[in-house]
């Protein structure tokens, strides 16, 4: 089987035309989706980049693989000690390779995040530039296309291609943004919401959109009104559309080789992106719907029914388990993912009843999601002090997560909190469990890219001394150590 996995950074499904978006952002991916299956409820178990791709490599939740933040305490990838490799928790790439698959990645992820475990098990690793994830899709394809022309006709390969273009900063040719000049944007956030967000003083908030002073023309300097919001959405969609152009180049190459109908495609993302939800823009700093809900499109020639849409909750680790079973392997006993291969075959299948997700880079949060409710427990707010300790959103009446209704539904809060506690206890009973990496982050605080004193200086520099004093007063020792029941 020829398998191509398109791993697209920071991609929201609701900004893809195959998911019903009003702009034709992904015409080439749409072609693949039309011939395959689209999943509506796929979520990354742990965000952002490092935790998610550690799950891709290991088949495990962040609480079990250990890399729940980008580096330092709580960011250490955990693997059984010894010279040999584990049969219970093998690297996904090694497992495929041992089964006779040629495993190849075109990605600078491991280099960008110093994630050396990412390089385990591949036959070939192509980093194509030293830009550490800041390369555009054309630079990625400059290496991918020659590889396809040389090896595309071979059988039994797993080709992983990572595109970064929807991730800030948007550095593609500006005409890809300008094409949306006359296109409408979604209703949320409206002018009143944006006006209320001007008081926010956390990173990537409406009036403090950038950490530094330099940004490309594809991005506004702030979100002061709907025109600015349109600017940032046009910029984001431009990145998606530019990436999709080079997906088209891959399809053209497969067509030239005569194998377009032979290739299995999996298309997904490491995480998505906040675009006004919780007052956050162009960032992925929390365990919210906007950050964790990711696209998933799978096309398997001769197996998947064209154009079918699947409901039901799945994790990104379930995708890894499904690929494993698809190629005829058993899902390893130590993985957390469950195969949904029956869903690909059109057989009876039911998704997970609920999901538990977490984030520990900018804040320390765990979330529980079911069909109606989205529950978040904040253990440490980092610089995002507007997050309540307990949050409950009604996703049916409030899909943009604008109103915390925890006080109105104490029984729902109790049930979701019980689910979270039960999930944590379940993980501690698994063989090889060491320590919850969330606890390690809590001991030092989620201070990676920005420390409290960094943001205090930023706030004082822009004349927001009152907000700076709030941060200074809350984090006198630069780390908060709240009670933690995990």
**Residues 187, 405: Cα–Cα separation, whole Å:** 22
- Indicate whether 281 and 306 sit together in one domain: yes
Q: Is residue 222 part of a domain?
A: no
- Indicate whether 110 and 14 sit together in one domain: yes
- Indicate whether 277 and 342 sit together in one domain: yes
Q: CATH no. for residue 445?
A: 3.30.1120.10
- Indicate whether 342 and 416 sit together in one domain: no
Q: Is residue 244 part of a domain?
A: yes
Q: Is residue 248 part of a domain?
A: yes
Residue 134 sits at the vertex; the CA angle it makes with 133 and 135, to the nearest 5 degrees, is 95
pLDDT score at 81: 86
- Indicate whether 455 and 363 sit together in one domain: yes
Contact residues for 37 (Cβ-Cβ < 8 A; gap 6+): 297, 298, 299, 304, 305, 308, 309, 310, 343, 344
- Indicate whether 387 and 284 sit together in one domain: no
- Indicate whether 166 and 259 sit together in one domain: yes
- Indicate whether 174 and 141 sit together in one domain: yes
When divided into structural domains, the chain yields a total of: 2
Q: CATH no. for residue 162?
A: 3.40.720.10
From residue 243, alpha-carbon distances to 8, 162, 400, 416, 481 in Å are 9, 10, 26, 38, 42
- Indicate whether 92 and 170 sit together in one domain: yes
Q: Using an 8 Å Cβ cutoff, are 319 and 344 in contact?
A: no
Q: Is residue 461 part of a domain?
A: yes
pLDDT score at 133: 87
Last residue of a domain, one of 308, 324, 352: 352
pLDDT score at 482: 43
- Indicate whether 280 and 394 sit together in one domain: no
Last residue of a domain, one of 309, 330, 352: 352
- Indicate whether 400 and 319 sit together in one domain: no
Last residue of a domain, one of 352, 381, 405: 352
Q: Is residue 332 part of a domain?
A: yes
β-pairing, 102-106 with 157-163? parallel
Q: Is residue 229 part of a domain?
A: no
Mean pLDDT, contiguous 10-residue spans, the chain (486 residues): 98 98 98 98 98 98 97 95 89 96 96 93 94 94 98 98 97 98 97 98 98 93 98 98 98 98 98 98 98 98 96 98 97 98 96 98 98 98 98 98 98 98 96 93 95 95 96 75 46
Question: In terms of Cα–Cα distance, which of 375, 319, 377 is closest to 352?
Answer: 319
- Indicate whether 429 and 326 sit together in one domain: no
pLDDT score at 477: 63
Q: Is residue 196 part of a domain?
A: no
Q: Which domain holds residue 402?
A: 356-474
Q: Is residue 194 part of a domain?
A: no
């Amino acid at each position: 089987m020829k398998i191509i996995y398109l791993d697209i950074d920071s991609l929201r499904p609701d900004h893809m035309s195959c998911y019903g978006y009003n702009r034709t952002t992904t015409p080439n991916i749409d072609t693949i989706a039309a011939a395959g299956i689209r999943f509506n409820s796929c979520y990354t178990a742990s965000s952002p980049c490092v935790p998610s791709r550690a799950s891709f490599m290991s088949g495990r939740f962040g609480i079990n693989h250990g890399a729940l933040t980008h580096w330092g305490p709580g960011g250490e990838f955990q693997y059984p000690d010894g010279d040999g490799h584990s049969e219970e928790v093998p690297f996904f790439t090694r497992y495929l390779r041992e089964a006779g698959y040629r495993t190849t990645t075109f990605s600078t992820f491991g280099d960008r995040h110093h994630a050396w475990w990412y390089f385990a098990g591949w036959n070939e690793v192509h980093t194509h530039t030293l830009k550490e994830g800041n390369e555009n899709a054309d630079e990625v394809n400059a290496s991918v296309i020659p590889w396809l022309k040389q090896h595309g006709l071979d059988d039994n390969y797993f080709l992983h291609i990572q595109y970064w273009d929807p991730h800030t900063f948007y550095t593609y040719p500006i005409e890809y943004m300008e094409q949306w000049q006359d296109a409408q944007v979604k209703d949320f956030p409206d002018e009143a919401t944006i006006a209320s967000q001007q008081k926010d003083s956390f990173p990537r908030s409406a009036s403090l959109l950038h950490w530094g002073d330099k940004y490309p023309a594809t991005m506004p300097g702030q979100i002061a009104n709907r025109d600015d919001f349109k600017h940032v959405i046009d910029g984001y969609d431009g990145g998606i559309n530019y990436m999709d152009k080079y997906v088209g180049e891959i399809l053209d190459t497969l067509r030239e080789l005569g194998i377009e109908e032979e290739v299995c495609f999996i298309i997904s993302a490491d995480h998505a992106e906040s675009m006004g939800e919780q007052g956050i823009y162009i960032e992925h700093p929390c365990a919210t719907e906007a950050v964790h809900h990711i696209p998933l499109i799978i096309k398997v020639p001769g197996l998947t029914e064209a154009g079918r849409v699947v409901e039901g909750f799945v994790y990104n680790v379930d995708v890894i388990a499904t690929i494993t079973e698809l190629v005829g392997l058993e899902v390893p006993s130590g993985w957390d993912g469950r195969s949904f291969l029956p869903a690909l075959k059109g057989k009876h299948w039911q998704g997970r009843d609920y999901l538990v997700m977490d984030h520990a880079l900018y804040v320390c949060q765990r979330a529980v999601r079911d069909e109606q409710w989205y529950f978040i427990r904040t253990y440490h707010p980092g610089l995002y002090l507007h997050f309540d300790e307990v949050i409950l959103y009604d996703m049916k009446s409030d899909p943009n997560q604008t109103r915390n209704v925890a006080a109105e539904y104490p029984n729902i809060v109790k049930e979701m909190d019980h689910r979270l506690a039960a999930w944590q206890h379940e993980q501690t009973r698994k063989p090889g469990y060491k320590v919850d990496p969330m606890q390690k982050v809590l001991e030092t605080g989620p201070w990676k890219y920005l420390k409290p004193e960094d943001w205090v200086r930023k706030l004082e520099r822009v004349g927001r001394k009152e907000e700076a004093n709030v941060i200074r007063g809350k984090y006198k020792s630069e780390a908060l150590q709240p009670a933690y029941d995990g």
